[in-house]
Amino acid sequence: MPRLFWVKIWTENWLDGSLREQMTPVERSIWIDLLVMAGRSRTPGIVQSNPDTPYSHQYLANRFNIPVKDLEVALKKFIEQERIHENTKGIEIINWDKYQSSKK
């Protein structure tokens, strides 16, 4: 599947949904950056360097211009909220299809 050049964000949900209450502003910025990275990935929906190699937390923190600690706190929260899975392949966005157009 080719890389995507956009992800779908529901404006109502982004501004008025539970995500606003469940995440701090820093966590929301990390969330949107993860979605964008997952859209650019060779394996859509998974933030990774290549299909067998995850990005390091240090790399992602540098890329997002944030402290590693902020990234790790957010990732832990996203795992607890069942928004992501993290494993040896990368960070997988759960419900990735929700962020895609119904037309492909």
For residue 11, tell me if it sits in a domain: no
Question: What are the backbone angles phi and psi of residue 40, rounded to the nearest 5°?
Answer: -85, -10
For residue 48, tell me if it sits in a domain: yes
Structure-token pair, residue 11: 């404006």
- Supply the pLDDT for residue 14: 87
For the entire predicted model, the pTM comes to 0.90
The enclosing domain of 31 has a CATH number of 1.10.10.10
For residue 39, tell me if it sits in a domain: yes
For residue 93, tell me if it sits in a domain: yes
The gap from C-alpha 84 to its chain's centroid, in whole angstroms, comes to 7
Domain housing 87: 25-99
- Supply the pLDDT for residue 2: 58
For residue 84, tell me if it sits in a domain: yes
- Supply the pLDDT for residue 1: 53
For residue 71, tell me if it sits in a domain: yes
* Number of structural domains the chain divides into: 1
CB distance 51 to 42 below 8 Å = yes
- For the chain (104 residues), the mean pLDDT of every run of 10, in chain order, is 71 88 96 94 94 97 98 98 96 90 56
For residue 67, tell me if it sits in a domain: yes
